[in-house]
Structure 1
Amino acid sequence: MNIYSPELKSKIVHEYLERKNDISISELSRQYDIDPRRVGEWIRNYQLRGKIITQPNKRKFSQKFKEDVVDYYQTHEDKLMRKPWNKLPQDLMYVLLRSAPGKT
């Protein structure tokens, strides 16, 4: 995975916004030799948030936290099935369950 500097991202996004009537995302990405999906993602993020996202949003959880979540889930499974568990998204719960050693 390539890591691009915030300066380069900003340059590409602003160039696109200034020239969007004259240049496509594909053309711009070819110019910089960067995947057009990535350039499009930078542009959409900028348009939605008004700033260049410099790092992906990665959540890091300690092993103890993961084990506690799995234990809670296993001891309260009947209650969790009846109503949505709004503390953590389901996809995160899946990751936590898979990554806890000896827990399935």
Structure 2
Amino acid sequence: MINVTILPITDLKTKPGTPLARIMNERLARFATELQTYFQKQFVDEKHCEDLVVYLGYNSTYSVRWKIVNDVPEYIQDRVAKRCGNLGFIQWKEFDLYSYRPNLQY
């Protein structure tokens, strides 16, 4: 069985106490939970990969973007890309570890 982890990533530049930031962070956490549940069901019999880690975050226009951050087989990458694309998420082309941090509070 594959261990699926979907982590919402929040922007450090926003003020954490503002209502918009709270709503957007809750929305992102909900998307992460739903996506994690979906992929756990999809990959229940997967034996070629031990872990799938995906980061979800927002771009500057508040579109949800995603990025796989570990090595997985190409067919898993394709299934993640298809599901995220169907949800309207865009692929995260760049990743700056110094600007973003995981939001581990659900």
Given the two structures, how large is their TM-score scaled by the length of structure 2? 0.23
Q: Which has the higher contact order (CA 8 A, sep 6+)?
A: 2
Structure (1/2) with the larger helix percentage:
1
Structure (1/2) with the larger strand percentage:
2
